[in-house]
Amino acid sequence: MALLQLKQITVSFGGPNLLDKIDFQIDKGERVCLVGRNGAGKSTLMKVIASEILPDSGEMAGINSLKIARLEQEVPAGTKGSIYDVVAMGLGDIAPLLVNYHHIVQQLQHDSSEAVLAKLEKAQHQLEAVDGWSLEQQVETVISKLSLDPSVEFSSLSGGMKRRVLLAQALVKSPDILLLDEPTNHLDIASIMWLEAFLKSYGGTLLFITHDRSFLQALATRIVMLDRGQVSSFPGDYQNFLAKREAMLAAEAEQNAQFDKKLAQEEVWIRQGIKARRTRNEGRVRALEKLRKERSQRRELQGNVSMQLQEADRSGKLVVEVEDIGQSYDGRTLFKDFTTLIQRGDRIGIIGPNGCGKSTLLSILLGREKPETGTVKQGTNLQIAYFDQLRSQLDEQASVVDNVGQGRDFVEVGGSRKHIIGYLQDFLFTPERARTPVKALSGGERNRLLLAKLFTQPANLLVMDEPTNDLDAETLELLEDLLANFSGTLLLVSHDRSFLNNVVTSSIVFDEDGSLREYVGGYDDWLRQKAELAEKAATAKPATSTKPVAKPEKKKSALTYQQQLDLKALPAKIETLEAQQMQMNETMSSPAFYEQSAEAMQKAQDELATLTSELEAAYALWEELEEKQNG
């Protein structure tokens, strides 16, 4: 059932329309992810739905009857009060009454004087007058569900916990549609996984923007792409979207090529000799004018970032050797007795929760800070380039050009000399945008600028502290390829699980027990090895026991006769469903598929979504019955 429908919505801030007569619909219970390049208009569309921006034209059906809550990208500056106070603010005008009542109840715990009791009675009457008791219970329920302590001051929380409180603030109004704009930005992996699990169990309707591909894959039931002012809908998960998008763009490129060929032929015809012009068909002339106009209005696909690392001369084989290092901060041990050897060509990920000491470890490895215990030995001929997550290397008041060029008109890249404006265009900065002060840039633009500045420095040791924040998926994939092919050494701090999996060869992890350990591979490899170690520890024989251990009796199958039949039939059913899914994917990947009517394409996409759901259900049943049978 459609909760919200946008019809022919247009929004422009000068230049090409950000939203160009789009039609968009959200159905009840959907988890829709909005994807697109930085600056494509995703946040603008979200603000239109939240009624924070009025469209230039178009209709929004159902918007006035809906409760919509939006969680913004950044934590609002100046937010004060306890967690209870901040969560209650989500209820609008009634919030001060709830906060006042809550504070009086807290005061009663240590002051039960008549004056306080009188204040309590007055507060109770005020709440009764506006039917506020149910809302007071609503605040308590949401705070409990999100495992928050209502008495803790908001200002004392970590960035991840602040975003959890703001999520509670959005949820407390029981929204019909919850809007989340980059909810995983600046969260550590544990917080991202908590949010992922919470939203999976959330029963409401969700529209979110994210560049975290693992989060997107796990959560979205439909993906909507915003590109050049238009929206395209793709039911299913992220992997399905990637295949369909490639097919759609290939079909578009073919259609554009055919159009351009026809236009070129007509341009040749119109420029033929005098005889041809005397006898030419006026209808054909008008058709040519129409072709010219259509071509002039075509919006080209935005180009990709073009990145190239400035590799320095090779470092020595040894990059860093540490032995039994330890460090503490403010009386808290960050790590101790850690030993590792980093060699030329290693690509090492550093994984851990916010505040655990990842940046401190980097400083020690680079020789910027001395450990309290242990020794650090650095290799020879190290040339270091450092990507700082706080972007402190950028001058906010200076322009983009001045930040990269430092007064020079040319930069050396890949052994060749390149004009600074041309170099910045490789990072998607137009000449006009290149002269803009850094303080006016978006988060994604600042990260691209920092990469542009970083890659002008020759380096054989690349240190990147949270480089993925605010970058779109296309830029992330290009950065992954660049780092994977870097012949030097990489130290990478990241909370992006897909990025870690695709780039690093080993991981240094701040484990839950406070230990610092090294694992082979990326994030998923760490999880697998950790589980294997835990399993070995659990099954290890106790060394002190000499009594024989009785063998457990083999459990009989707990399956009913019908369940046994189902389990036997499931592999063949799954094989059939997978074959049907593969056939449909091949059909929908063909350019000819997109020459059909919109209704036919939508019907095929719905069939594929149904098929995918059946396959997932079959797999889930198979695992459930297998587990039950094996006891």
Concatenating the DSSP letter of every residue in 328-396 gives EETTEEEEEEEEEEEETT-EEEEE--TTSSHHHHHHHHTTSS--SEEEEEE-SS--EEEE-TT-TTS-T
- CA count, 13 A, side-chain hemisphere, 124: 7
Confidence grade of residue 377 (pLDDT, cut at 50, 70, 90): very high
Q: How far is CA 463 from CA 348, 379, 578, in A?
A: 10, 15, 43
pLDDT of residue 343: 92
CA–chain centroid gap for 596, Å, is: 33
The average pLDDT across 237-262 equals: 79
Share above pLDDT 90 across residues of the chain, in percent, rounded to a whole number: 20
Report which DSSP code applies to 549. Answer: P
The pLDDT value recorded for residue 279 is 53
Q: Do the Cβ atoms of 615 and 574 come closer than 8 Å?
A: yes
pLDDT of residue 274: 44
In sequence order, the β-bridge partners of residue 320 are: 342, 378
- The DSSP annotation for 320-337 comes to EEEEEEEEEETTEEEEEE
| pLDDT of 35 higher than 60 | yes
pLDDT digit string, tens, across residues 54-106: 999 999 887 778 889 888 777 787 888 999 999 999 888 888 888 888 888 88
With CA atoms as reference, report the closest residue to 383 among 483, 310, 453: 310
pLDDT of the residue at 505: 92
Radius of gyration of the chain (CA): 30
DSSP structural state of residue 69: E
Report the b/e string of 425-453 with b at 16+ CB within 10 A.
bbbbbeeebbeeebeebebbbbbbbbbbb
User: What stretches of 24-176 show up as alpha helix (H) in DSSP?
Assistant: 42-49, 83-88, 95-108, 114-129, 133-145, 159-171
Question: What DSSP character marks residue 230?
Answer: E
Task: Flag the least confident range among 122-131, 465-474, 479-488, 495-504.
Answer: 465-474
Per-residue exposure over 33-48, b if at least 16 CB sit within 10 Å of its own CB, e if not: bbbbbbbbbbbbbbbb
C-alpha span between 578 and 60 (Å, rounded):
40
Residue 547 has pLDDT above 60, yes or no: no
- Quote the tokens at residue 160: 């991840």
pLDDT winner (highest mean) among 394-403, 434-443, 605-614: 394-403
Q: What is the pLDDT of residue 342?
A: 93
Which pLDDT belongs to residue 549?
44
Among residues 235, 225, 164, 178, the alpha carbon closest in space to that of 206 is found at 178
Look at residue 373 in the predicted model and tell me its pLDDT: 93
Q: Can you tell me the distance from the alpha carbon of 261 to that of 253, in angstroms, rounded to the nearest whole number? A: 12
pLDDT digits (tens, 9 = 90+) for 204-245: 899 999 988 899 999 999 999 988 888 999 988 888 888 887
| pLDDT of 277 above 60 | no
SS3 108: helix
Facing residues of 376 across strands?
322
How much is the pLDDT for 482? 82
Does residue 503 contact residue 480 with C-beta atoms inside 8 Å? Answer: yes
pLDDT tens-digit readout, 182-198: 888 778 888 888 889 88
Kindly list the distances between the CA atom of residue 110 and the CA atoms of 99, 104, 106, 140, 153, in Å, as whole numbers in the listed order: 18, 11, 8, 21, 19
Sheet hosting strand 57-61, strand order edge to edge = 19-27, 2-11, 57-61
Answer positive or negative: Cα dihedral of 394, 397, 400, 405.
negative
Structure confidence at residue 280 as a pLDDT band (50, 70, 90): low
The pLDDT confidence band at residue 458, using thresholds 50, 70 and 90, is confident
Residue 207: predicted pLDDT: 95
DSSP 8-state code for residue 154: G
Q: What mean pLDDT do residues 102-121 have?
A: 84
pTM of this prediction? 0.66
What's the rounded mean pLDDT across residues 450-469? 85
Average of per-residue pLDDT values in the chain: 82
591: confidence class by pLDDT, cuts 50, 70, 90:
low
Rounded to a whole number, what is the distance in angstroms from the first to the last CA of the chain?
A: 41
Top-ranked range on mean pLDDT: pick from 507-516, 522-531, 535-544: 522-531
